[in-house]
């Protein structure tokens, strides 16, 4: 059983049965989310994460270890043959892209002034910004929060 699956045995409370609560346990703090963001931006080495984030070395060490243990990042020998180690998004980690885009789009909409400059995420194939994310039904129809309901296990 992998580390990412080991926590799914016998939920002890209603929070344990919540996918959001379990996800926040792993990536719900500032540094973990920013490490994942930077990994999507191509940052791979400890020193590069340290410079990019300005986080304490001990905090970065702890967060990287947690992300590796959770199966979000993998630690690999450096691709250039040096003795360094690189942190690379796993397939599970790459699936967090939608979450990072959603956080970015929310931040662009609500955390910046109308004329305030900020970075922009573009599609490298077209040079255009991404469309706004919209939850949808399995049929592709947009769905609003008031049309959803959490069904808890009995």
Residue 87 near residue 68 (C-beta atoms within 8 A) = yes
Reduced to 3 states (helix: H, G, I; strand: E, B; else coil), residue 133 is coil
Task: Indicate if the pLDDT at residue 1 is higher than 90.
Answer: no
Characterise 146 by phi-psi region: left (phi > 0), alpha (psi -120 to 50), beta (else): alpha
Residue 33 near residue 27 (C-beta atoms within 8 A) = yes
Task: Indicate if the pLDDT at residue 84 is higher than 80.
Answer: yes
For residue 14, name the pLDDT band (cuts at 50, 70, 90).
low
Residue 153 near residue 147 (C-beta atoms within 8 A) = no
For residue 79, name the pLDDT band (cuts at 50, 70, 90).
confident
For residue 69, name the pLDDT band (cuts at 50, 70, 90).
very high
Reduced to 3 states (helix: H, G, I; strand: E, B; else coil), residue 92 is helix
Residue 154: predicted pLDDT: 83
Residue 89 near residue 49 (C-beta atoms within 8 A) = no
Mean pLDDT computed over 18-43: 95
The pLDDT tens digits of the residues spanning 100-116 come to 999 999 999 999 999 99
Give residue 68's Cα distance to chain centre: 13
Return d(Cα 119, Cα 45) in angstroms, integer: 22
Phi, psi of 73 (to 5 degrees): -120, 155
Residue 65: predicted pLDDT: 97
**Across all residues in the chain, what is the average pLDDT?**
91
Note the CATH number of domain 13-147: 1.10.10.10
Weakest-pLDDT range from 18-22, 33-37, 92-96: 18-22
Q: Which two tokens stand for residue 74?
A: 């993998």
pTM: 0.86
Task: Indicate if the pLDDT at residue 123 is higher than 80.
Answer: yes
> Which of 105, 108, 92, 106 lies closest to 27, judged by CA?
92
What HEC string does 62-90 produce? HHHHHHHHCCCEEEEECCCCCCCEEEEEC
Q: How many CB atoms lie within 10 A of CB 34?
A: 18
Residue 8: predicted pLDDT: 42
Give the whole-number percent of the chain exceeding pLDDT 90. 82
Place of tokens 């590069």: 48
């Amino acid at each position: 059983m992998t580390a990412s699956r080991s926590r799914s045995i016998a939920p002890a409370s209603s929070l344990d049965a919540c996918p959001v609560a379990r996800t926040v346990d792993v990536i719900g703090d500032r540094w973990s989310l920013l490490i994942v963001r930077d990994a999507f931006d191509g940052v791979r080495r400890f020193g590069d994460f340290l410079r990019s984030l300005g986080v304490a070395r001990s905090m970065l060490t702890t967060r990287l270890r947690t992300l590796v243990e959770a199966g979000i990042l993998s630690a690999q020998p450096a691709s250039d043959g040096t003795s360094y180690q690189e942190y690379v998004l796993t397939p599970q980690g790459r699936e967090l892209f939608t979450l990072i885009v959603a956080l970015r789009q929310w931040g662009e909409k609500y955390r910046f002034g109308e004329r305030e400059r900020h970075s922009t995420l573009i599609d490298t194939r077209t040079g255009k910004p991404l469309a706004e994310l919209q939850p949808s039904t399995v049929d592709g129809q947009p769905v609003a929060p008031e049309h959803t309901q959490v069904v808890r296990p009995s």
